[in-house]
Amino acid sequence: MQLSIIIVNYNVKYFIDQCLLSVEKAIENIDAEIFVVDNNSADGSCSMIKEKYKNVYLIENKKNTGFSYANNQAIKIAKGEYILLLNPDTVVEEDSFEKCLSFMNNHKDAGALTVKMIDGKGHYLPESKRGLPTPSTAFYKIFGLTKLFPKSKKFARYYLGHLNKDEINEIEILPGAFMFMRKNCLENVGYLDEDYFMYGEDIDLSYRLLKSGYKNYYFPKTTIIHYKGESTKKSSVNYVLVFYNAMIIFARKHFSKKNAKIFSLFIKLAIYFRASIAILNRAIKKVLLPILDFGFIFLSYLIIKPIWEKFLFGGDGSYPKEFLYIVVPIYIIIWLNSMAFYGSYKNHIKPLSIIKGTTTGTIIILLIYSLIPESYRFSRALILLGYINANLISFFNRFLATNIPYFSQRLLFYKQQRTLLIGLKNEILRVENILKKTQINHKIIGYVSPENNITDNFYLGKILQIEEIIKINKADEVIFCAKDISSQQIIQYMLKLSDSQIDFKIAPTDSLSVIGSSSINTAGELYTIEVNSISSLSNKIVKRIFDILTALVIILLFSFIFFFYKKPFNILKNSFLVLIGKKTWVGYYYFDETKNRNLPKIRKGIFNIKEFMLTKTINDLSVEKLNLLYAKNYKISTDIIVFIKHFKHINM
């Protein structure tokens, strides 16, 4: 066998789907095998792979074993002359593997190679080729000199910036996203070092290959897309700790004791420095929008209070200072908490969530207002004026956040995405249907044919005219239908248009997702049909409120219910179990306990959702689908219906 491809997966279902589609096309003319090692994903990855990719060898780990251990599991049983370690958030060209095999066969001194990588906008990824992270190289990288002097042989050694990105060159370190190696070389130098849980293992293995006399090559004659940052958030504290600790492990293993100590001390200082920045940055991003909301709403009261006093009483000072400095902040805190409950501080904010939040907050304020002594009631009008201002200010602040890159929050429907679809008619219509069901506001401005001999009026033009079509129609986004256009063509056009401000996305064949990435520093963007997960905070709260209220009603009415049931005290027992949170009224249907291990955790139900079976035949598959549907598209109405239908069995 020529090639064994090994992909380690962890909770990137839609990305590995696209990856496997491209890999299967790339091995059509090669004697190859594909391994996927899943590190206990909880997103349905394994079910999808079993259903769609029958030829893939799937290894399902019961816990997250780490990148090195998982790869080694597959390497040990791989039969290929060559081994490829491939990230799940990648797309390869149809001839990528053939070109790599040809190069390796013609260069017997090569122990391993990697290829040119681009991100989801077609921008070159500098980590496609890297140098050994010596203390000086690491210093220049950590403190920004590499970025300041990207072509310098000295300062940019981490990314070998002095080497031409379009030329074949010997390099020192290969990226873990694409490591194409001879199996016999791996047998000689050893597999991945399992001391590294994640990060650093690619550096370690590359260095061991060099020390054993093999050469590592950068081979840019084929290009892959790498949705950099999808599996891990590079700005997170966890990433900083794991990555730099991996560097310490590497130093202790390969450097002299003196150099290792210096390097370790330097890296520890870097960890504290970068971790502090990451924590501070994260904290600022989290609180900045609420602070802006609070500040501007409070300022609005400083303006409207004297105007209202003058209108109502003919002068200022009619309301005590406590109103402005105690009561108003309480109003604002209630509004902000209500908006947070409806998702107004999430990364993707629906305009309706702001109105729902401020409206709910206003109702709560008015209810409190009606219950407190009259001497503490100031003005309902100022509450309502504050409500109007809270809405206007919240929308304005999210408008700012959407247009300022530092903010992570974006207001959905703020701007319609002017989208071009490239594909044949049937696939375009399928993808267009997916886009309509997502929460992104797309304006489909036209279709482009991937075939240059089509003259159908359905299309704006041919793919050869894509630059002019984008310019004339002022497109913001291009979506490639992967069924109708090859990965190689997609990558070629992404490279060609990489200097534009266009976002690129790919719609994989037979998938309910559209995948892309907005920039090198952000995680990949994913359009999927929106689901209402039972694990969301709002649904958990709604479900718990329903449980508590119904349990209380049943307990209060127990003396009346008592006479209608054979085992009435079971009703009381079940109600108390629900009330104290040991159980819920409605839960999954447990045909087989093991089938629910990847579903969001909820309490065991007094009743189950078996009533929603569309067929009387109960088997593993139908149970799994039913439970998954309940978990993904939760509605309180489902619980109410099940509760009413099962109520006669409440004493069981």
- Encode pLDDT of 96-149 as tens digits: 999 999 999 999 999 999 999 998 888 899 989 988 877 777 778 777 788 888
Residue 579 has pLDDT above 50, yes or no: yes
pLDDT band at residue 315, thresholds of 50, 70 and 90?
Answer: low
Reported as a single tens digit per residue, the pLDDT across 237-254 is 555 556 666 666 666 666
Cβ–Cβ under 8 Å, residues 491 and 118: yes
Helix (H) or strand (E) holding 180: strand 178-182
pTM above 0.85, yes or no: no
- pLDDT score for 232: 46
> What does residue 144 show for φ and ψ, rounded to 5 degrees?
85, 0
Bridging pattern class, strands 513-517 and 524-528: antiparallel
- pLDDT score for 258: 62
- pLDDT score for 456: 80
- pLDDT score for 524: 45
Cβ–Cβ under 8 Å, residues 560 and 494: no
- pLDDT score for 603: 85
Domains for the chain: give ranges and CATH numbers: 3-129+165-228 (3.90.550.10), 284-410 (no CATH), 417-528 (3.40.50.720), 537-649 (no CATH)
pLDDT band at residue 440, thresholds of 50, 70 and 90?
Answer: low
- pLDDT score for 646: 75
- pLDDT score for 106: 95
Q: In the sheet where 503-507 sits, what is the strand order?
A: 461-462, 442-449, 417-422, 477-481, 503-507, 513-517, 524-528
pLDDT band at residue 28, thresholds of 50, 70 and 90?
Answer: very high
* Tokens describing residue 162: 């002095």
Beta strands in 430-588 (DSSP E): 442-449, 461-462, 477-481, 503-507, 513-517, 524-528, 584-587
Residue 594 has pLDDT above 50, yes or no: no
Q: Which of 122, 123, 116, 129 is nearest to 222 (CA)?
A: 116
Q: Give the percent of the chain with pLDDT over 70.
A: 81
Q: Give the percent of the chain with pLDDT over 90.
A: 36
Cβ–Cβ under 8 Å, residues 87 and 75: no
- pLDDT score for 199: 65
* Tokens describing residue 475: 């497109």
Is 234 buried (19+), middle (13-18) or exposed (0-12) by CB count in 10 A? middle
Q: What residues does 422 pair with on adjacent strands? A: 448, 480
What's the gap between Cα 622 and its chain centre? 28
Stretch 509-530: mean pLDDT: 59
